[in-house]
Amino acid sequence: MLHCVKLVLCLTFLSCEAHVIRSKDSADASNVFGLTGLAKNNATDATFMQGDIAMPKQDGRTAFIRSSKWPDGTVPVEFDSSYSTAQKNIIIGAMSEITKNTNNCIRFVWRTTNHPVWLRIFPGQGCWSYMGKAMQKGPQDLSLQIPGCVHHQVALHEFIHALGFVHEQTRPDRDQYVRIQTQNIVSGQDHNFDVFSRTDTNMLGLPYDFGSIMHYRSDAFSSNGRPTIVPTTSVGKSWESRMGRGEKMSALDIQKLKKYYSCS
């Protein structure tokens, strides 16, 4: 039986409103995990923000939807039949880590006909998810390409997006902790390093987390192999080679997700 699960990131959206955002990946989006052998992220009915966050296309315009929580922390799921038992177990392991670390506050359950919205985990093009509960009815896609995206840490990262969190380095106070090396970013990909305004985000009163499972790698979207994100604090400098490379949630990830979902 599928175990309950939960995870966290520092930045979450406050309500369920649509806002036009500045230009995104107009076509395919590069994966943000530094993995080889992956197709670029693509979905016919969505565009992408920050590389792996899918956003519905509305009236031909790109817009982001501030994320909505899954009611009672319960997330119905179903697997595409293409996954092997071993692959399913890897993905279930990520869900179980979330559930265990949130004391069963966030639970993943098998989808039934009583669930109006559910996560459809399928081997699409690349590794990506919508943010929070983005649909009103029907399946909400979460793509884990076979075999490149079927890793514990990748599944964990995408499930946290699905729970309502974006990337750590998009916090409005980001520039107090890291410096973005724009000269090393692939041309046309600088929008992936935008920060959100304080009116659009809730940092939950918790500090910046260099070790978050939701942080970009130091070489994310690099055009030349050199760092695109450089920590500027004494604590941060010790994380430079490890940012975005963790295999499990950080203590702050857990704390933030529990706080967002009002877990005890």
Pick out the residues of the known binding site for Zn(2+).
157, 161, 167
Q: What angle do CA 198, 200, 201 make, to 5 degrees?
A: 65
Residue 199 neighbours by CB under 8 Å, 6+ apart: none
β partners of residue 46: 56
**Residue 74: DSSP 8-state:** E
Q: Catalytic residues, which ones?
A: 158
| Annotated binding-site residue numbers | 157, 161, 167
